[in-house]
Amino acid sequence: MSNARTPPPSYGESAQTPAPPPLGRPELSPLTLDGNLIYPVVPPTTALYELTHEVDAGYRKIGISRLCPNRNTAQHGNTDDLIFRIRPRHSPEKQETLQWEDANQSLVAIETVCIPGGSNVRPVFHIVCDMDDRLIDALITAWCAKIWIGHQLAAAAMRDPEGDMGASRTLGV
């Protein structure tokens, strides 16, 4: 057995070797909503959150549960400050995206909206910065609530296709 050290690889050799993917929190990879489960788009795709039922199932209430244990146990106080805002952004790929920003207008997540008849059949939510587990839970809950409310409004519009139009005619507007 030789005690000679092996020299490190040259820069050219090491530059050709792909870097291993970063080991990060699964909540920070793009997430998708499929049925009543929210999971990362990229494997491993273990569900992180579960809804009480699918958002478009016509229920008047919806609940969300975290399926993986909380790592942060520190208590956080309540605040009346703005936590998140949503800003629409039209992408060149003709996909509707929404930028979610925090109170400092820093980008925290990007949502690719599910467009009927489009290439993306499920909504995708990508959290782009690290944050406390409670804020991640709140952000994902807000995302699900936004989708659920959208389905509720669409269902109501289908039940009453004249909706505001009928009211406008009645008011003579």
Taking all residues of the chain, what is their mean pLDDT, rounded to a whole number? Answer: 71
Distance between the two ends of the chain, CA-based, in angstroms?
93
Structure confidence at residue 173 (pLDDT): 35
Predicted confidence (pLDDT) per residue in 11-36, tens digit:
555 545 444 444 455 556 788 888 88
DSSP string, 110-168: EEEPP-TTSS--S-EEEE-S---HHHHHHHHHHHHHHHHHHHHHHHHHHHSTTHHHHHH
Strand partners, 89: 97
Q: Which helix (H) or strand (E) holds 170?
A: helix 163-171
Q: Which residues contact 102 (CB under 8 A, 6 or more apart)?
A: 83, 84, 85, 108
- Decide: 31 and 124 in contact? Cβ < 8 Å: yes
Predicted confidence (pLDDT) per residue in 44-81, tens digit:
778 888 888 787 767 766 777 878 654 444 444 333 34
Structure confidence at residue 129 (pLDDT): 92
Among residues 80, 98, 81, the alpha carbon closest in space to that of 89 is found at 98
Structure confidence at residue 127 (pLDDT): 93
